[in-house]
């Protein structure tokens, strides 16, 4: 008994790890990834590979350069890379995702202290930068799906949310319409999101309130008061991707259930404002980024009441 381990409590731990969480997110994104490649072909696959590869690469480089522990094996950089790729049109030049990865991983994540310290969603930070700096590539690269897997001569096609966009509900569900690589198949994103809820990686609060807010607001704000309007707004664009996979980013979302509900409602509200009255056809990512900045404030005002606090207050009033 010479080599006894002595530690404070607890002596057992749950078998959940960061790696497992990130891996489950990757699994949840896999169906939509495959669908993106099926729809937009080899070109989309290349964009995905370059984005994920450069994200992981930048994480490795930064940590090597700053003499930190290398944490690429926790898959968090891969998740960020994949989410960034999901937000890119299929025909972007391949240097573009590399620039986006740099902004996402180095600027938004590592400069703020790495995993868990970023105040905004890194993938969305990368996308916002690309939108601002390379607008023509980001806004104009949308193409018609299923035009041949190896065919790089693609036909341009507007997204359903664009003023000249065309759509029908089945294509919105399946994903055979113009859009970014990962956002088009609402049904696969919902399935992936529900998988994460089932696995207790995320909770229902943000996605449910985000989507519900968009549905309710578009129903009342758009003329006609038809159910078609909210259904379209919920299924089109990046709402499912944003609600299930982006707004739920741990480090840039509130911790308490009430805080998460406020986050979801806020995201939905801003999304609708941008979509209906703003200059962009799509507002999900800016809505999330704006709400990310409100998280410290939300957290501050939604601290859970501690056990045993309530009766005391009542007594003081009586």
| Interaction site with other proteins (CB under 8 A) | 1, 3-14, 16-18, 20-21, 71, 74, 76, 113-117, 250-251, 255-256, 303-312, 315
Q: Least distance to other proteins from the beta carbon of 74, Å?
A: 8
Backbone CA torsion sign across 38, 40, 41, 45: negative
Asked if the peptide bond before residue 37 counts as cis, ω within 30 degrees of 0, the response is no
Rounded to the nearest whole angstrom, what is the least distance from the CB of residue 55 to other proteins in the complex? 17
Q: Are 80 and 67 in contact (CB under 8 A)?
A: no
Residues written for the chain: 318
> Which lies closer to other proteins via its Cβ, residue 3 or residue 150?
3
C-alpha distances in Å from residue 226, one per residue of 114, 209, 213, 229, 230: 46, 21, 16, 6, 8
Residue 24 region by backbone torsions, left for phi larger than 0, else alpha for psi between -120 and 50, else beta: alpha
CB 95 within 8 A of CB 258: no
Report the residue number, 26 or 216, with the smaller CB distance to other proteins. 26
Closest to other proteins by CB, 7 vs 223, is 7
In the complex, what is the shortest distance from the CB of residue 138 to other proteins, in angstroms, rounded to a whole number? 29
Nearer to other proteins, 44 or 196 (CB): 196
Find the shortest distance in angstroms from Cβ 231 to other proteins.
Answer: 32
2 preceded by a cis bond (ω within 30 of 0): no
| Residue 156, beta-bridge partner list | 143
Q: Closest separation between CB of residue 57 and other proteins, Å?
A: 20
Query: In whole angstroms, how close is the CB of 146 to other proteins at the nearest point?
Result: 38
Nearest CA to 105 out of 93, 114, 94, 97 is that of: 114
Residue pair 84/126 in contact (Cβ under 8 Å)? The answer is yes
| Backbone CA torsion sign across 264, 266, 267, 269 | positive
CB nearer to other proteins: give 64 or 73: 73
Nearer to other proteins, 93 or 116 (CB): 116
């Amino acid at each position: 008994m010479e080599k006894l381990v002595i530690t404070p409590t607890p002596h057992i731990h749950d078998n959940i790890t960061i790696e497992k969480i990130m891996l489950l997110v990757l699994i949840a994104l896999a169906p939509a990834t495959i669908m993106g490649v099926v729809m937009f072909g080899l070109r989309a696959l290349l964009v995905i590979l370059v984005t994920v590869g450069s994200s992981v690469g930048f994480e490795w480089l930064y940590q090597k350069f700053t003499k930190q522990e290398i944490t690429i094996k926790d898959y968090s950089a891969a998740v960020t890379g994949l989410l960034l790729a999901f937000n890119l049109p299929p025909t972007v030049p391949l240097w573009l995702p590399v620039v986006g990865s740099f902004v996402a991983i180095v600027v938004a994540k590592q400069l703020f202290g790495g995993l868990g310290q970023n105040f905004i969603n890194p993938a969305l930070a990368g996308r916002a930068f690309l939108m601002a700096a390379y607008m023509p590539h980001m806004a104009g690269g949308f193409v018609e799906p299923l035009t041949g897997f190896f065919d790089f001569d693609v036909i341009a096609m507007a997204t359903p949310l664009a003023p000249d966009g065309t759509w029908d509900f089945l294509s919105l569900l399946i994903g055979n319409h113009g859009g970014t690589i990962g956002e088009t198949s609402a049904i696969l994103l919902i399935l992936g999101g529900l998988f994460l809820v089932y696995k207790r990686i995320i909770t229902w609060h943000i996605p449910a309130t985000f989507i519900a807010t968009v549905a309710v607001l578009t129903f009342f704000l758009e003329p006609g008061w038809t159910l078609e309007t909210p259904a379209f707004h919920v299924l089109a664009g990046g709402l499912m991707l944003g609600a299930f996979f982006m707004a739920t980013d741990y480090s840039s979302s509130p911790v308490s259930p009430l805080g998460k509900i406020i986050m979801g409602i806020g995201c939905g509200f801003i999304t609708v404002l941008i979509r209906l009255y703003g200059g962009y056809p799509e507002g999900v990512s800016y809505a999330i980024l704006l709400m990310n900045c409100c998280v410290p404030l939300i957290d501050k005002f939604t601290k859970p009441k501690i056990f045993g606090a309530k009766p005391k207050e009542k007594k003081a009033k009586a």
